Amino acid sequence: MKIGELARESGVSVRLLRYYEEVGLLTPERPGGGHRRYAPDAPEAVHRIRALLAAGLPTRVIREILPCVQGTGTAFDPCVTTHLRTRLTELDTHITDLQQARSALAALLAATEGVATAA
């Protein structure tokens, strides 16, 4: 399939598909005319890429784990477990940091509003 067809079928812009190719997430064939031709399973590959990006994985990690795909969908071989656990731990740490920052900001706001009403 051509890049425009893949864009329509996957709901992803042509520009983004070119980016996925540039970073090594998609590999189209380039027959004689040099135009990109994608395999019939390319829409499923784009869906997997989008799911992994939505999970917060960087493209360099996605490139490493795409070969570990099991069939269709987003089921992966056990070789992906370490990457997924690491990212989950990073997200949990970030959430904790954000909650602490929010509490500190709320305290500052409350103190500031308390000073304004006392004056």
**From CA 110, how far away is CA 42, in angstroms rounded?**
53
Across the 119 residues of the chain, what is the mean pLDDT of every consecutive 10-residue run?
94 96 92 85 92 89 84 75 88 97 96 76
Total domains in the fold of the chain: 1
Q: What pLDDT does residue 93 have?
A: 97
Domain that holds residue 46: 3-118
**From CA 29, how far away is CA 87, in angstroms rounded?**
32
Q: What angle do CA 30, 45, 18 make, to 5 degrees?
A: 45
Query: Tokens representing 9?
Result: 């079928």
Predicted TM-score (pTM) of the model is: 0.74
DSSP secondary structure of 20-88 = HHHTTS---B--TT---B--TTHHHHHHHHHHHHHTT--HHHHHHHGGGB-SSTT-B-GGGHHHHHHHH
Q: What pLDDT does residue 68 have?
A: 83
Q: What pLDDT does residue 30 have?
A: 83
Residue 55: give its domain's CATH number. 1.10.1660.10
Q: Which residue has the tokens 């997200």?
A: 91
